[in-house]
Amino acid sequence: MIGTIVVIATAAGCAADPPAGVVGLTVTGCSTGEAHGSGIVVAPGLVLTAAHVVKGADEIDITDGAHSTTASVVAFDPDMDLAYVRLDDDLPGSTIELGNCVVERGERGVAYVFRDGHVVELPVVLRRPVRIKTEDIYIEGDTNRPGFELDADIVAGDSGGPILVDGNVIGVLWARSSKYEHRAYAIDPVAAGGLVREQLRAGAIDDSIDLARCT
């Protein structure tokens, strides 16, 4: 996901635990090829990821490296770039809770991403909490996402991977900087998750959101 990013620093702790529940997503639907992303099981059968990973999905395949299943989108916010998918069959790995803690500048954490069939651990430095002024996932309207500016080496396919601090998920990877090397951005899934939480509570996604849309 590449877009214009303007960050506004905000005032802001919470080292990482094993990557139980980290999964890889393979998505077909928006192109002749496949889209890849990462995610985290935050409740039984429920995976948090980035919305742009699953936009326009006809089929979503989920794997933890040893087991696989399919999934469907059950919550989706194109402005905040967050989504939840429901697994058709539970995976045996444990869940990781979302964090709701104050994160200090310079604090160290770990990003977990799914690459080439297995989980990869990436060291992360949280440079600062920020308000990320960017565009929605369709690049047609401005939005302002609460999140974090990071020192992290991420690549295409890492979007949706969780940032963990003290064993809690405090961020969801969504973009790397096109200007600075080793710089990345993550969404705060608690502060930015109001709409997707409401969709989960209601058991439905508003008709104004077109899950089949690709652009």
Sequence spans of domains, the chain? 6-18+96-194, 22-94
* CATH class of segment(s) 6-18+96-194: mainly beta
**Is the distance from CB of 172 to CB of 162 less than 8 angstroms?**
yes
**Is the distance from CB of 134 to CB of 5 less than 8 angstroms?**
yes
Tokens of 20: 């139980």
Query: For residue 52, what pLDDT is reported?
Result: 97
**Is the distance from CB of 126 to CB of 105 less than 8 angstroms?**
yes
pTM: 0.91
| Coarse DSSP helix, strand, coil percentages of the chain, rounded to the nearest 5 percent | 5, 45, 45
Q: Tokens 């849309």 sit at which residue?
A: 213
Question: Which residues of the chain are under the pLDDT cut of 70?
Answer: 1-20
Give the residue from 31, 204, 36, 171 showing the smallest Cα distance to 115.
36
Superfamily the domain 22-94 falls into: Trypsin-like serine proteases (2.40.10.10)
Distances (CA, A) of 168 to 33, 112, 163: 33, 12, 8
Q: Residue 145 class from Cβ within 10 Å (0-12 exposed, 13-18 middle, 19+ buried)?
A: buried
Question: What secondary structure letter does DSSP report for 206?
Answer: -
Tokens of 191: 């502060």
Query: For residue 2, what pLDDT is reported?
Result: 40
Q: Tokens 């980035």 sit at which residue?
A: 50
Query: For residue 9, what pLDDT is reported?
Result: 42
User: What percent of the chain is modeled with pLDDT above 70?
Assistant: 91
Fold matches, 6-18+96-194 and 22-94: yes
